[in-house]
Amino acid sequence: MPKKIALLPGDGIGPEIMAEAVKVLEAVGKEFSREFTFQSLPIGGTAIDEFGDPLPPQTLQGLKESDAVLLAAVGGPKWDQNPGNLRPEAGLLRMRKELGVFANLRPVKAYEPLLHASTLKEEVLAEVDLLIVRELTGGIYFGDKSRKPHVSGEQATDTLVYTTEEIERIVRMAFVIARNRKKLLHSVDKANVLESSRLWRETVNQVAKDYPDVQCEHILVDNCAMQLIRNPRQFDVLVTENMFGDILSDEAAMLTGSIGMLPSASLGAQVGLYEPIHGSAPDIAGKGIANPLGIILSAAMMLRHSFGWEQEAAIIEQSVQEVLAKGARTADLAGPQDTKVSTSEMGDLIVQAI
């Protein structure tokens, strides 16, 4: 059976980079005798323009019937003044909720040829290869919020809620991932202050009993934030709750030098959602200069996590490494001395390497 992949090109540079990801998937399919069917569906601003809805019903239907979803990017200045539910990002949040993707995986890998682009020292960054597993559908983002009058003006409250079940499913996923990597897992919390973190830590210790081959460490989030900059190589897999994960994954992203390189996966019980971490980059849309490697690496994650095709995923990742090592650079990666390649030239180079 061919794998049904839903494509969400979206807005801005989305369609340009999506075309390169499809090229790469077709090349991998050819090389490994794997078959795909692609269905392109409207989302975000373009869907608002065409259907008056950032996540039209037919898109949601198509997503649920697919084996995996590849998303490029949504949003742009054209829709920024729209009312809440008619904004492109509203479609994105609704989609994540509908698909029940509770785990967000963000690999952070330092590509040797790009290290000079970072503001940090090369010797700190060399060989960084870690993965942050962030809880995505619980915690303080979703707890009760309220305001009430206060003598000084107002009082505002956010509530941080986690249940054993919510913690257990994300932690279990992190252990499985850690088992397939270096068998080292850091659980990040604030157990010296937060009750939800104490439940988190207790649950991690319970789940750990099922994975005796994985070394499990607890680290406080403030210390973790520091260690990510001081010595990121000490980490392999990190698992944490929603807000800590949001902050730490943006921090860790900067270890690699360019936002255009970073992929992500959002997983749950149903279909997995894969997307680069960057946005729709309206400032460079239509120019053919966007870096397609973030979405190409997201496609690799799709092959690994949705289909279990490790070799196929690895060949894409090795090709990216190889093409960068040979000096190919899109504008965002290029130094003053480098010759720049276009979006589609970069895609072609990856295809050739495969």
Element spanning 267, H or E: strand 263-268
Q: Name the one range near Mg ion by CB under 5 A: 62-70, 215-223, 264-272, 275-283.
A: 275-283
Could you tell me if 271 and 66 are in contact, meaning their C-beta atoms sit under 8 angstroms apart? yes
Secondary structure, 3-state, 192-261: CCCHHHHHHHHHHHHHHCCCCCCEEEEEEHHHHHHHHHHCHHHCCEEEECHHHHHHHHHHHHHHHCCHHH
Say which entry of Mg ion, ligand ATP, none residue 278 contacts (CB below 5 to 8 A, set by partner kind).
Answer: ligand ATP
In angstroms, give the least distance from the CB of 178 to ligand ATP.
28
| Residue of minimal Cβ distance to ligand ATP | 279
* Residue 108 contact among Mg ion, ligand ATP, none, beta carbon within 5 to 8 Å by kind: none
Q: Pick from 216, 290, 296, 313 the residue near ligand ATP by CB under 6 A.
A: 290
Distance, CA of 185 to CA of 197 (rounded, Å): 16
Instruction: For residue 64, indicate whether it is catalytic.
Output: no
Joined tokens for residue 149: 């009058």
How far apart CA 350 and CA 354 sit, in angstroms, is 6
User: Given 49, 210, 250, 338, which residue is catalytic?
Assistant: 250
Strand partners, 150: 153
Considering the complex, state which of residue 178 and residue 297 has its C-beta at the smaller distance from ligand ATP.
Answer: 297
Whichever of 15 and 279 has its CB closer to Mg ion, that residue is 279
- 247 by Cβ neighbours in 10 Å (0-12 / 13-18 / 19+) ranks as middle
Active site residue 141: yes
> Distance between CA atoms of 115 and 128, rounded to whole angstroms?
10
The CA distance from 245 to 250, in Å, is 8
280 binds, among Mg ion, ligand ATP, none (CB under 5 to 8 A by kind): ligand ATP
- CB under 5 to 8 A by kind: which of Mg ion, ligand ATP, none does 42 bind? none
By beta carbon distance, the residue nearest Mg ion is 279
Q: Is 52 annotated as a binding residue?
A: no
Cβ burial, residue 142 (10 Å; 0-12/13-18/19+): middle
Per-residue binding letters, 224-263, with ligand ATP (x by CB under 6 A): -----------------------------------xx---
Active site (annotated) includes residue 190: yes
Binding site for ligand ATP (CB under 6 A): 13, 75, 259-260, 278-281, 283-284, 290-291, 294, 332
Residue stretches of the annotated binding site for substrate: 96, 106, 134, 222
